[in-house]
Structure 1
């Protein structure tokens, strides 16, 4: 049975996206007057429901972090508000003094506290589609937090259903590219005290959109995936983001000759995974590479820690 969006395993995705975009702005990674991706660009690139991005931007505008115009442009506000400043009630769906953590049911927070304090350190399940990528993210997150972090491919989640239902994991973490997919699967398990699903916004996702926006129409863009499926997903993200005036050519480590052909085509920019980037660098030191699966940024790690501490 599909559970309500207000059920214990649900933190609205638009709230998660809003909070992490806000952190990037507060840290001046995206400074005042900087341009953020449009709703179409961000939702398409992250393969996310456009209404989710629209809701996140609407709240950021209501809180004074961004300005929107009729053309769809999203700009960081000239002066960011103080976090302690409250917005008039009723402007957005919830009162501003409520954080996404304060919306978590008290019963859920207490049970997580008992698990974390009474039996073991917090346990996180990190789910992604690429085996190398998910292992790198899990190791990085475990080093940064001291939590137990288990990597899992999304296609293998079913094998861990029993441990999830038995309450072993405090959080399930993935990237925004897969958060809606993972949430839907978790909801399919039925009612119960499920772990929260947290999405990580990779700064490299936003950087990729920015770099692609600056290319002239007709520019050739190379896409290098660890797997052919991953390269194809990269390609679909760019198309769904509305950047259809770019010429796209893909290659994969599964077929090294396809990467050699990619180099021979001399693209203006190559989006690739870290593994493909290392291979391409061995062929030529001077390449316009943008590593798309760069490590989790500090804001994402801090966000995960806040979630765990909020439930303990």
Structure 2
């Protein structure tokens, strides 16, 4: 079905400790659970669905459970309870052979530590997944060269990992994941070890690649600015549980609690929120022949048009007037 999620996670738990099943469903805090049972609930009753072609970001501070969550999705860590539906089939029920096939053909992961094979050149590193899949030499090298060009590493095919910068090594890791043409790409804090400038470059690279190849992605990060930049939707975790899930503007504009509110307090709201957040109904006496803007335009990008207009700017979608925006609404938002 066209609208079926690529990934549908339902009631996922991962509990570490003796007899972990007895902790499933507990409403005790993490500390209370540890004291009473000796168990740690790293992931607590988390549910979400990832749409085809979406960049879905899971974020939280260290210890929030986000990395455990992404490892549960491919059963690198075995979940304690819940369902992980991938194209409608529960990964938790897959036997070893089926799970191996999923990892070889349909799922790919990019880690913080690149995991490149030091004794193999770049071309062989990128082709490695195809090699263990059983692809012929000519076929896998052809594909490896294609993805190296895609990530901007043409000319480095015969270099070795220790001859490359951190950013270039991560590009090799990304190329290796793309080479197998997976249905779902999983990123576990892939850029957190990189210098800020290289990190920003790699973020832009992911955005470009997503635009070009349209892969469905689950991206793990502890960095709010990274989450806001990359995510179509964001899931925020705390102590193993889901705190809030929504689009970047929903997370910034309507934080679910004080924890999220503190998270987003330093984010310039005009850089994230759209005109939907500041538009209002037109007054009867107001002229409605001003400029038109889309409701999903970020406020920062609308400032020049709104402040230079001598009448209300109309917020229009598919010919329908949704509201108006004037300099008063823009200036009030910027002043917050």
TM range (shorter): under 0.3
Relative contact order (C-alpha < 8 Å, sep 6+): which is higher?
Answer: 1
Give the TM-score of the pair, scaled to structure 2.
0.23
**TM, length-normalised to structure 1:** 0.24
Between structure 1 and structure 2, the one with the greater Rg is 2
Q: Normalized per residue, which structure has more strand?
A: 2
